[in-house]
Every structure is written in C-alpha cells, then in structure tokens.
A and B are shown apart, each in its own frame.
Chain A
Amino acid sequence: MNRFLTISLTLFLFLFVYIGCKKPYNPPEISVDNKFLVFDGSLVNSADSPSVITLSRTVKLTDTTQAFYPETGAAVSVEDSTGGNYVFLETPNGMYKSPPLSLNPADKYRLKITTSSGDQYASDYVEMLQTPPIDTLLWQQQKDVSIYLNTYDPSKQVKYYRWDYVETWQNRAPLESELGVENGLIYYVSNRPLDQKYNCWSTDYSTDLLLGSSVALSDAVINKFPLAVVPQNSVKINIRYSILVKQYAITEKAYQYFQILKKNTENLGSIFDAQPTQLIGNIHSVKNPSEVVLGYFTASSVQQNRIFISKDEVNNWNYVYTGRGCDVTTIEQNPANYLLYNYPDTGFSAYYFSGTTGLTLARVSCLDCTLQGGTNQKPAYW
C-alpha cells in the first residue's frame, strides 16, 4: 500500500520537476573516503546451489576510476546455534562461496568474518526461513511488456519477500554464415554446430531491489507484483525471451533494512521524500560495535520459476538493428587475398563461397552474434 503512495507522489512530483528542472549535481563536499565494510549475499538452504557472499569496501562518490573495491583475503564462515561451522572459500573479486548446504530449518545461523587485517565481524543469529513456491509468473503487453508475480503462502507464515531474476534472450547475427574461421582456416559451420555464431543467448541480472509484503492483506497473498519491464521493440523479445525469478522469504527486520536501502537509492527525488536514513544492518564489528558495517545477513530456502515469451506472442514488436551496415564483398579464393583484405583491420570474415573461385566476405559484427554479448551455447532449458 505504501508503495502505491510513494509511486503516485513521485509521479506527481515529477510534474514539478517538469515545471522546475532537474540538473546533474556533484558537490565537492562528498569526497571523504570512509572505506566501510560491505556485505552482500545470503545463506541459501539448497541441496543443489551454493551460497555466495561478496565482501567489499565503500568508495568515494567522486571516485570514477574504481567503483568496486573488493575485500580479499578474509576468512568467512557461517555458524549454527549448536556449534556447527560451514566455511566459505574465497574466489576472485571478493566473492566467497560455500558448497551447496542442506541445513536444518529449525536452527539459527550467524555469519563470521575475519578480515586480512585481523578485524573480526559477526552477524546476529537469524532464523532459517522456508520460502513458499512461486504461484505464477505472468506477463501483459501494453506497448511495453510487464512481468508480474503472484505468490501465496499456504502456511501463512511468510509475509515478506525479496526477489531477483535473470533474463535470458536469444539474439541473432544479421547474417547467417555458412563458414567459420579458426587459426586462419575456414570450416563449414554445418560440420561444427557448436561453433555457430548465428544464434546467441544473452543474460542480464536484476539491479533493482524487489521487495514485497502481504502484511496489509487479509490473506498471505502477493498479487501481480511488478517484477520487470521489457521496453517495446527491445532486442530481448526479438526472437525469444525467458525470465528466471528466484524468491526468498525474509524477516520483517530484513525487509525494513532493504526498504531503507531501496529508498535511500532508488526512490529519492520528490519533494515529499523521507529523509535518507541511517542503514543499520545486523553485522557488527566485534571490537568496535559502533563501526559502520553495511549489509544484512539473511537465511532461507529459495524457490524459482521460469517463463518464456516468443516474438509471435507480442504485438507491434519491431527491433531495429543499429550496428554498422552489412554490405558484402567478394574476393578471390586465396588466403593471401583474404589476409590482405583484412589488413590492417580484421573487421571482415568469410560469409560463403561464391561459385568456385569467389569468397564472399562480410563484417564480423554482421556474422558473429557473440559480439553483441551473450554466448553461442544454447542453454539447457532452451
């Protein structure tokens, strides 16, 4: 309910932004470097997927050279209330991973961190929540395509949720090449289907904090929660699109923390905005309890659901390829010619053999879909 209020007020206020104006703002004052410890991630109770935790440090707002400052060399583990200990192993970029863990939902868990400089941090003990399954994912088109979620907790225990999602979509190179080039040798794609560069699958991750609550409703129902929007004519539904949504149950306190985090970053800008508030998470320095530590440690099982949307299911969808033109040229079949043609710029690649003596070339950007991002390996679920 609160969300509706905020959205509407923001809408209205943008009217006054229109009358008034909005300009970029970068005051000089905000250059203090605090380097607070930041925790991101959660403990996932799952027999098949690992838990991933990221540790980093805050950077100055004005620091454009390094936006992410990973905290490496820390010892990270999770402890249960009966003394069991689960160690996380360091991977690059401040990521720490556990093996898939099947945990007792009746137990309580806490996070322990010892940084490379020897500072110790611990979270409060948190409950292991049971996430109910996602009821349905649905979508509607009104120019743009909006994706919604319905969920329902039959046990009526879970009232707060967090979601994230992964979008995957198929994209194609403008030209389908018969030939591939590897180490200066031409091969037929039909002989090596895994090396095709015509069909690709790109992936994007959610960047907004998606939070929902059924606390104001008489039933434990989340109805038509808006998860994502695909703008009209986006490349994402040029062929086929898929979204995988993961649902996590969270506690009321965690919900409040994420709400503040969200409000502090995503919702500001109207004249009735709440004051930015202090983020108080559940992770503390053992030695100095007043030290600022950002992040909220949560633990739950995870539920997921996936839907597909094909281009023939949407209306008025006209993706326009905006890359360089795809004009082609034909050269004689002879390696020297090919190398010469591509010298000094390797922008061209083999397209097809024309007749017995000719080789038709086209720009690589027109032949290789991986250059638009994504992988040329078809995902298992596709």
Chain B
Amino acid sequence: MLGTSRFIVSLCGLILFFFSANAQETKFSGKFYDLKFPQFVQQIEGKSAFHFYYDESTLDTFTLNVTLTDESINDALNKIFGNTIFHFSIDPLNHVFITKNKSMQTALAADFFTPENSNAPPGESQNEQVIKEKSRPGFVENKLFEIGSKSASKKNKAVITGFVKDIKNGEALPGASIYLDSVFTGIVTDQFGYYSLTVNPGIHTLEVNSLGMKEALRHIIVYNDGKINVEMKDDIPSLKNVMVTAERRSNIRSTQMGIDRLSVKVIKEVPVVFGEADILRVVLTLPGVTSVGEASSGFNVRGGSADQNLILFDDATIYNPSHLLGFFSAFNTDVIKNVELYKSVIPVKYGGRLSSVLDVNVKDGNDKKISGSGGVGLLTSKFTLEGPIKKDKTSFILGARTTYSNWILKAVPNLAYSNSSASFYDANIHISHTINSKNNLYLTGYLSNDNFRFDLDTTYKYGNKNAILKWKHIFNNKFYGLVSAGIDHYQYNVTSNSNPVNSYKLTYDINQTNFKADFTYRLDNKQSLNFGLNSIYYKLHPGGLLPYNSQSLVKADVLQSEQALESAAYLGYEYNITDNLSINAGARYSIYNYLGPHETYNYVPGLPKDASTITDTAHYPGGKIIKTYQSPEYRISLRYILPNDASIKLGYNTLTQYIHQLSNTISISPTDIWKLSDAYIRPEKGEQYSVGFYKNFNSNNIETSVEFYYKRLNNMIDFKSGASILLNHHIETDIINSKGKAYGAELFLKKLSGKLNGWLSYTYSRTLIKTDDPLAGESINKGAYYPTSYDKPHAVNFISNYKFSHRLSMSVNVVYSTGRPITLPIGVFYSNGAQRLVYSDRNAYRIPDYFRTDISVNLDGNHKIRQTFHNSWSFGIYNVTARKNVYSAYFVSQAGFVKGYQLSIFGTAIPFISYNFKF
C-alpha cells in the first residue's frame, strides 16, 4: 500500500517538474502541536501552491502533533498520516487529496500522449465528448478529455459548450458555476444547465460547482471548438459531506448581488409548523425578507409591499402562492429543484414588479427510470411520480398534494367550526423532451385550488391555473435562445346561500397570456449579451356580484372587464474587464397600453376625484388604446475582486409595475383584488441603490456578506379612510398615491459544510411611506412619512442543521424581529350608546417583539443502495418556548365597555410529525 503511494508520488514528481517546477520544491518547517487539521491546511495553502481536498466531517477533529524541518510535502504528509487510517495523494496540479482507508488514483489517463480520435474528421458529433461518470469517482476526475479535433485548423480561441446534469436522473443543473484553472470565469449555467466558454487551446482544468452537488473536476486538452457535458454527483449523506452547499466562491465572483439560492434539500430541513416543507417559510428567514405575521400569504422584500414580488413557477406567474389563507405555500417541494430570490439588481429579462423575483424552478423528471416519492403529515399528504416516457429523450414529473385539515375544524367544540370545512389541493406536471442536441421542449402545468366554508353559509374558493410551453434552440456554440408561450389564470369566488333573499355569488379572475423570447450570445469569454422581448396580454374581470338563485333579490353588479398589453424589449451586457473587475449593465424598455372596451369616468380637472366630481363617461370600443405608459428601466452592477477571497459589488436598478394588488387589510386576504394601471392609476416605479462586501473564510467554507440598500418607491397605492375595494365602479376616487422609501443593511454568515451548517443573518431595515397626492382630498398622518405595517427594523434569523450521523440530524431555527407597527386607540368616548375609540396616527405604535424557536429531528431510513423503498421521518416542535407572539392587538366594545386584546396565531408549542418515502 505504502509502496504504491510512493510510486505515485514519484510519478507526480516527474510531472510536477514538467508543469510547475517550483511547487514541488517547497519545503515546510515548523512545530505543529495540538493543531487542528483544517488550520494546518490553511497555513500550508497560504504559503504554497498546494490545495487540499478532504472530507471535512472526518478530518475537522483530526489533531496534528508533528515537527517539520525543511521537509517536502510528501515527507511532511507521511509524518502526519504515517500511522493513521488516512492516506494522501498529490496530483500534477498540486491538489492534495486526503482519503480515509484507501489512497486515491491521481495518475493521468494512459492516452494522454496518444489521443484516441486524433484522426477523426472535424464535425459536431465527432467533437462531442459526453462523459458519464462511472461508479468510481476518481476515474473521470483524473481522465484527460480532448475537446475538438486535433487535426482541424488551429484557432486562437476555442469555444467549449455543454450541459451540466445530475448523474442520477439526468436533470439539468442551472446556476452551476464554471471555473477554468481554478479561476471563476463568471459563467454560470442557464436554467437548462447549458454553458458556453471561450478558452485558449491547451491543457486546462474545468471545475463545476453547483448547489447541493459535489464539486466536479475535468482535465481537458482543448484543440478546437467542442462540447463537454459534465454530470455531477449528488452530495449525498453517504459521502459524509455537506448538506448546505453553494457554488463556492461564486458569491464573491459573480456580478450578481442580492440574490439568494435555496436548494430544496435545505428547504426540507428547516422545521415548519405542521411539518410540511414550505418554500415561503424558508424564504422568510432570508435577510431582507419580512412579513406582517404568521398567517399571511404575502412576504415583503426590502421594504416593498407584498404585491411587488413576481412569483414565477417555471416562468408561469403565480398570483396567490398560498393555501389555507397563508398557512401553507402553494408549492409542492417534491417537484421543485431550487428557488432563487432576486432582491437587488433584478436580471434584465424580468420586469413588471418592483421588489423582487422569486423564481421557483421545477425538477426535470428522471429520464433513466421510474421513481416516486411521497409524504404523510398531520394535515397534508403528497405524492410525486417521475420517469422517462422515452429513455434519455423525454421525461415527466407529476406531483399532487391534498389536505385533510377538516379534522382540526371538527375537533373544535363549537358548532360554528364543526360545520365549517377547509380543503385544498395542488397538482403539477412537467415534461421535458429532447428533440435533438440543439432543440429541447418543456411543458409545465400547474393547478391549485382552495375551498373553505363557514357554518354552512359562505363558501370561498380560489385557485391558480398555469400552463407554459418552452422551446430552447441552440444556434451555435455561442448563441442560443428560449421562446415560450403560456397562460396564467387566477380566480376566486364567494357564495352565500343561507338567506335566500340575500344569497349571492361573487366572482373575480385574472387571465394573462404571455409570450417571451430570450437570447444569450456569448461574444467571447469576457463578454456576453442577453436580449429579448416579452409581452403579456391581461384580461381581468375585477368583480361581479350575482344573485345566487331566482329567489335572490341581489342586484347583479358586474364591473367592466379590463384589458391591457404590457410589452418590453431588453438588452443586457456582461463584460469581465479584467480578472478582478466586471460589469453587468442592462436596459429594458416597457410599453403599457390600457385597452378598450371600457367606459371611463371623467372628473372635474384639478379637484379631488369623487363621485360628486364625475363630469361624464367616455366610451372606448374594443381594442382602442385608452392610455399608454412607457418607461425605460436600467440595471447596472459592478464587481471588483479583492485579495483573500473577498469582493465588493455595486448595483443600481429601476423598475416599473403596471398591475397592483388592492388591499386595505393588514395582511393579504383571499378577496383582495388586482387592478391594472388605467387612465387614473399610474404605474408604480421603484429604484434601488445597493452596495455589498463579500468575504469567505476557511477555504470558502464560510461565506460572509454585508449589503446596504436604499430604495425609493413612487405611486404606491393607499386608500382613503373607509374605502371600499370590492365592486367599486370608480376605485380611483378611493385611492391615494403614496411615496415610499426603504433602506437597510443585511449581514449574512453562512457555513456551507461540516457537521454543523446553516446560516445566521441580521437585518436592519426601515420602510416608510407618505401620502403624496394633492388631489386625494385627505392625507394620512398629515402627509408625513410613517412606517408601513411590515416595517421591522431589527430581524435576526438563525437556521442550523447538525448531523449526528448519516441518518440522524437535528435542525434548530431561531427567529427574532421587532414587533410590527400598529395603530392604537388613544382615547375613549361615548357615542350611540357605547364606548367608542379614537385611533392614533396610522402605525404610530408597535406590537411586542417576535421571538420563536423551532426544533426538528430528521431520521432517515437506511441508505442501502439496492433498497427500492427509502423512507424518512421527521419530528419536531414549532415554537418550542410556546411564546405567545402577538400578531395583532385590537380593542373591542363589549357590552358598552372597551377591552383590549392581543391575538396570537400559534400561541403555543405545536408538535408535528411527518413521514416521507422515495422509491
């Protein structure tokens, strides 16, 4: 055994001489006592060109006790590991691999000097090297792959392209970072896992990092343009590696800022109420994201209101992302690959919302074999099935989820509740089809439905329906495009039929048809362009009240439908000016047309809009443009890399929003409506300046960042006192335009690997608005800035997971935030027979601070590879300390006296259990 490694060492020595004469001669001296191995590695890496690869969880407790005097790396490591179970090997690129029990093969492939297809004629199929990682992990990583035909005419630059996929199921890996010779190229795979890279011909190492996957390394010799697909291995627990990983160093290297990526694995580990893994609950733990409270479906990003988030499910717009009034998110985690939240400089291809883009990416189905998974929880059950329709060509994934929450209602000893019912379901389908190496088709469908009823009287229903078809075409190595078309639908209705005379049905829906064309052109390794067009046609039915049956005297009251077309063209340019400095600049131009048929009221100019100032009605026929808004938007970000794994980034962006949610309740309620900008309601506009510092420690295992932002929002919508939103024929008379500003600092610390991983974030943020509308007729808080109801200056989130063994892990969340602002009564008076209240200025006070701790224990079944059925259990307690966090405080006149109450949503510790399986 020892002999073998000596032999390898000497072979390495030979190659080292060839490649880098200096590194192998580095001598090490020093006394290392009681030193942890990772610290030793840091010292060595700091002084020499060696880079260590080892399994953190086995070696982070290994202690050194050794004296070195002018010793080579081999001698030094022999001294350290001589009598241990650990072995080391060193490859030609000064990579030191520490392994347990067995040493690793680092020898180059035998065909290094005689490439096997050196005589092959040039041509696409011949240039292609598709590498499948075999069961021996060392094999592909040590092989030297040839790119392009050796005999073809030599060029100065060669373009390498390919797909990065998951070896297990062939699923594409978007967002994977490509490193060339250990330097980040700035290139990240697109949503289909595709990348394109320009290199100088010669020998290189290609390194790919992707969230939740093991780092993949390829040695390549580049002769000419060619392809190399990289299949990555899952970072599965049996490899005793990290669960939370990110593209190491990409936080520093990428020009993007204010972006959070979450893999579904991380989401599933975070304990949540009722044990159902929930995307939105985890998103809420990220810095800069808040919500008004536990029972709210909306979330607020960097001081924006809840309707300013564009929620995309595989590019389909989801208008209501929650079930059961916000207690569950409407996404089934089993069909989701990952989630990205853009909260700062939003990529130029997205538009139409001011605060953020939450991009939920769907998994491609397993294209190798049929498999499935499922889960059973206290309130919900789910099932997912995936597999190939045609092996390696077409695959599908189907997911469905439903609830049986009725039992909770039945358990309440009160007739009003036991006569009530609540249920929901959601279903997803995603089909991906490879036509040929240049064309792919993707079809995604989404359906969700909620239904709840109170005491046999009023029934509420709401749901989303979405379908989207995408076609990806690769024109050549440098140029590819994605064209998609889809329809999005959201509707709700309310029916009441207990009193026949008053029985009614209330309906509302949004329909949108969209078309998108997005192209990426990589000029060279340093520059790339992203451009495209998109267009959305909206048709809204903003509300209709209809008699429920013939006995009903309810007068049919149907608001006119609304139509609009929102179109945009954009161009983004990314340029790596030097190795350290890169810029990403983009412009987007949007045009919005509010279209007929519509009847619009005219008002006396210069007076507050009011029913009494209506002069006449203008009639617009179908298709006629009633009002046009247009707006240029800019997105700029700059990144400068500092020494020692650190960087600084600057960003600026502007955005425009043409569709607005009207809500005068504190949180989003199911009967809130969306309204298009029209002749009176101007588009909302926002701009944000941001700056961030990023630094990694401990071989990029610990990421830290500080981001600052300042944001201005214009034409935000607020309401006059007593405004009625439902069935309002002239909503413009009840709206007040407001102006907002938000600023804050976000501190983030994330540990990516080791037994303990997770993140800690602290956010300081303020978000203030003021009435900015001389024609409103009234102003809130006398026109002064006041905090929004989601303004929470201090927020601390701690999310952690500790692995006791391969099968047993424990997660702990700790969440703290300042209490949100509320409006309190400041006086009591008598009127109409009872005590009444007079309220303070809006949001002048705050409810008590929020604090919660959750714990869960996850127990996996055995990891035997041949076992067809894998199962896991998760137990936990939500709100362990049973703190009665105040959701709202309110004051009620009861029997003529005013009493104050505080309301908690989960005012007790809630235990949960769930069972999940996979086959």
Residues of B within 8 A of A258 (CB): 832
- Say yes or no: is A320 at the interface (Cβ < 8 Å to chain B): no
The answer to whether B825 and A261 touch across the interface, beta carbons within 8 angstroms, is: no
In the complex the two chains form, what is the Cα distance from A34 to B789 in whole Å?
A: 24
- Say yes or no: is A5 at the interface (Cβ < 8 Å to chain B): yes
Contact residues, A230-265 vs B (CB, 8 A): 256-261, 264-265
Residues of A within 8 A of B892 (CB): 265-266, 268-269
Contact residues, A55-83 vs B (CB, 8 A): 56-61, 63, 67-68
The answer to whether B887 and A20 touch across the interface, beta carbons within 8 angstroms, is: yes
Stretch at the interface among A113-121, A192-200, A204-212: A204-212
Which listed residue, B553, B828, B897, B902, touches A218 by the CB 8 Å rule? B553
In the complex the two chains form, what is the Cα distance from A280 to B778 in whole Å?
A: 10
In the complex the two chains form, what is the Cα distance from A8 to B836 in whole Å?
A: 23
> How extensive is the interface on chain B, given as a class?
35 or more
In the complex the two chains form, what is the Cα distance from A36 to B838 in whole Å?
A: 9
In the complex the two chains form, what is the Cα distance from A2 to B671 in whole Å?
A: 11
CB distance from A88 to the nearest CB of B (A): 18
- Contacts known (A67-B835, A265-B893); A22 close to B902, Cβ less than 8 A: yes
Contact residues, B806-840 vs A (CB, 8 A): 823-840
The answer to whether A280 and B721 touch across the interface, beta carbons within 8 angstroms, is: yes
CB distance from B378 to the nearest CB of A (A): 13
The answer to whether B905 and A68 touch across the interface, beta carbons within 8 angstroms, is: no
In the complex the two chains form, what is the Cα distance from A274 to B668 in whole Å?
A: 10
Could you say which of A15, A206, A295 has the most chain B C-beta atoms within 10 Å of its C-beta? A15
The answer to whether B671 and A275 touch across the interface, beta carbons within 8 angstroms, is: no
- Say yes or no: is A138 at the interface (Cβ < 8 Å to chain B): no
- Contacts known (A16-B905, A18-B412); A27 close to B833, Cβ less than 8 A: no
Residues of A within 8 A of B907 (CB): 20-21
- Say yes or no: is A185 at the interface (Cβ < 8 Å to chain B): no
Residues of B within 8 A of A26 (CB): 900
The answer to whether B830 and A68 touch across the interface, beta carbons within 8 angstroms, is: yes
- Contacts known (A21-B884, A207-B834, A265-B891); A4 close to B904, Cβ less than 8 A: no
- Contacts known (A277-B721, A278-B839); A17 close to B824, Cβ less than 8 A: no
The answer to whether A61 and B889 touch across the interface, beta carbons within 8 angstroms, is: no
Give a binary string over B765-801; 1 marks a CB under 8 Å from any A CB, 0 the rest: 0000000000000101010000001000000000000
Residues of B within 8 A of A277 (CB): 721-722, 839
- Say yes or no: is B850 at the interface (Cβ < 8 Å to chain A): no
- Say yes or no: is A30 at the interface (Cβ < 8 Å to chain B): yes
- Contacts known (A206-B833, A271-B888, A278-B780); A27 close to B722, Cβ less than 8 A: no
The answer to whether A58 and B902 touch across the interface, beta carbons within 8 angstroms, is: no
Residues of B within 8 A of A186 (CB): none
The answer to whether B295 and A16 touch across the interface, beta carbons within 8 angstroms, is: yes
Residues of A within 8 A of B665 (CB): 272-275
The answer to whether A23 and B884 touch across the interface, beta carbons within 8 angstroms, is: yes
Residues of A within 8 Å of B, CB-based: how many? Answer: 78
Residues of A within 8 A of B455 (CB): 8, 11
Contact residues, B401-439 vs A (CB, 8 A): 408-409, 412, 414, 416-417, 420
- Say yes or no: is A312 at the interface (Cβ < 8 Å to chain B): no
The answer to whether B901 and A40 touch across the interface, beta carbons within 8 angstroms, is: no
- Contacts known (A21-B884, A273-B888); A5 close to B901, Cβ less than 8 A: no
- Say yes or no: is A216 at the interface (Cβ < 8 Å to chain B): yes
Stretch at the interface among B210-218, B385-393, B494-502, B620-628: B494-502
Which listed residue, A20, A207, A264, touches B833 by the CB 8 Å rule? A207
List the B residue with the shortest CB-CB distance to A4: B496
- Contacts known (A20-B906, A217-B553, A275-B666); A224 close to B884, Cβ less than 8 A: no
Give a binary string over A1-14; 1 marks a CB under 8 Å from any B CB, 0 the rest: 11011001101100
The answer to whether A216 and B555 touch across the interface, beta carbons within 8 angstroms, is: yes
In the complex the two chains form, what is the Cα distance from A24 to B884 in whole Å?
A: 12
Give a binary string over B455-499; 1 marks a CB under 8 Å from any A CB, 0 the rest: 101100000000000000000000000000000000000101001
- Say yes or no: is B454 at the interface (Cβ < 8 Å to chain A): yes
List the A residue with the shortest CB-CB distance to B897: A67
List the B residue with the shortest CB-CB distance to A204: B833
CB distance from A16 to the nearest CB of B (A): 6
- Say yes or no: is B54 at the interface (Cβ < 8 Å to chain A): no
Residues of B within 8 A of A280 (CB): 721, 778
- Say yes or no: is B845 at the interface (Cβ < 8 Å to chain A): yes
Which listed residue, A218, A271, A279, A290, touches B667 by the CB 8 Å rule? A271
Residues of A within 8 A of B318 (CB): none
Give a binary string over B218-251; 1 marks a CB under 8 Å from any A CB, 0 the rest: 0000000000000000000000000000000000
In the complex the two chains form, what is the Cα distance from A63 to B665 in whole Å?
A: 30
- Say yes or no: is B557 at the interface (Cβ < 8 Å to chain A): yes
- Say yes or no: is A332 at the interface (Cβ < 8 Å to chain B): no
Residues of A within 8 A of B906 (CB): 19-20
List the A residue with the shortest CB-CB distance to B845: A29
Contact residues, B650-670 vs A (CB, 8 A): 664-667, 669
List the A residue with the shortest CB-CB distance to B506: A1
In the complex the two chains form, what is the Cα distance from A15 to B833 in whole Å?
A: 30
CB distance from A37 to the nearest CB of B (A): 9
The answer to whether B829 and A59 touch across the interface, beta carbons within 8 angstroms, is: yes
- Contacts known (A218-B555, A294-B838); A271 close to B295, Cβ less than 8 A: yes
In the complex the two chains form, what is the Cα distance from A261 to B886 in whole Å?
A: 24
List the B residue with the shortest CB-CB distance to A215: B555
The answer to whether A36 and B896 touch across the interface, beta carbons within 8 angstroms, is: no
- Say yes or no: is B51 at the interface (Cβ < 8 Å to chain A): no
In the complex the two chains form, what is the Cα distance from A54 to B666 in whole Å?
A: 34
The answer to whether A276 and B904 touch across the interface, beta carbons within 8 angstroms, is: no
- Say yes or no: is A25 at the interface (Cβ < 8 Å to chain B): yes
The answer to whether A2 and B726 touch across the interface, beta carbons within 8 angstroms, is: yes
Residues of B within 8 A of A111 (CB): none
The answer to whether A2 and B557 touch across the interface, beta carbons within 8 angstroms, is: no
The answer to whether A59 and B828 touch across the interface, beta carbons within 8 angstroms, is: yes
In the complex the two chains form, what is the Cα distance from A22 to B458 in whole Å?
A: 25
List the B residue with the shortest CB-CB distance to A35: B827
Which listed residue, A23, A68, A275, A279, touches B901 by the CB 8 Å rule? A23
Give a binary string over B719-730; 1 marks a CB under 8 Å from any A CB, 0 the rest: 001101011000
List the A residue with the shortest CB-CB distance to B720: A277
In the complex the two chains form, what is the Cα distance from A46 to B453 in whole Å?
A: 46
Residues of A within 8 A of B889 (CB): 25, 27
In the complex the two chains form, what is the Cα distance from A280 to B905 in whole Å?
A: 32
The answer to whether B828 and A1 touch across the interface, beta carbons within 8 angstroms, is: no
Residues of B within 8 A of A275 (CB): 664-666, 789, 823, 842
Which listed residue, B408, B553, B671, touches A223 by the CB 8 Å rule? B553
- Say yes or no: is A221 at the interface (Cβ < 8 Å to chain B): yes
List the A residue with the shortest CB-CB distance to B422: A12
- Say yes or no: is B523 at the interface (Cβ < 8 Å to chain A): no
Residues of B within 8 A of A208 (CB): 833-834
- Say yes or no: is A38 at the interface (Cβ < 8 Å to chain B): yes
Residues of A within 8 A of B666 (CB): 271-275
Give me 22 A-to-B residue pairs in the complex whose CB atoms sit less than 8 angstroms apart, sorted by A's number: A1-B554, A5-B458, A11-B454, A12-B420, A20-B908, A21-B908, A23-B884, A23-B902, A24-B902, A30-B826, A205-B833, A218-B555, A224-B499, A265-B836, A265-B891, A269-B901, A271-B888, A271-B905, A275-B789, A277-B839, A278-B842, A294-B829
19 further A-B pairs in the complex, CB-CB below 8 A; given A33-B827, A60-B826, A61-B827: A19-B906, A21-B907, A22-B904, A25-B900, A27-B889, A56-B829, A59-B827, A67-B835, A216-B557, A218-B553, A265-B837, A265-B892, A271-B903, A271-B905, A275-B789, A275-B823, A276-B823, A277-B839, A292-B838
Report B's interface with A, CB cutoff 8 A. Answer: 293, 295-296, 325, 408-409, 412, 414, 416-417, 420, 452, 454-455, 457-458, 494, 496, 499, 501-502, 504, 506, 545, 553-555, 557, 664-667, 669, 671, 721-722, 724, 726-727, 778, 780, 782, 789, 823-840, 842, 845, 884, 886-893, 895-908
List the 4 closest pairs (A to B, CB-CB), nearest first: A58-B827, A268-B890, A21-B907, A277-B721
Report A's interface with B, CB cutoff 8 A. Answer: 1-2, 4-5, 8-9, 11-12, 15-27, 29-30, 32-36, 38, 40, 54, 56-61, 63, 67-68, 164, 205-209, 216-219, 221, 223-224, 256-261, 264-266, 268-269, 271-280, 290, 292, 294-295
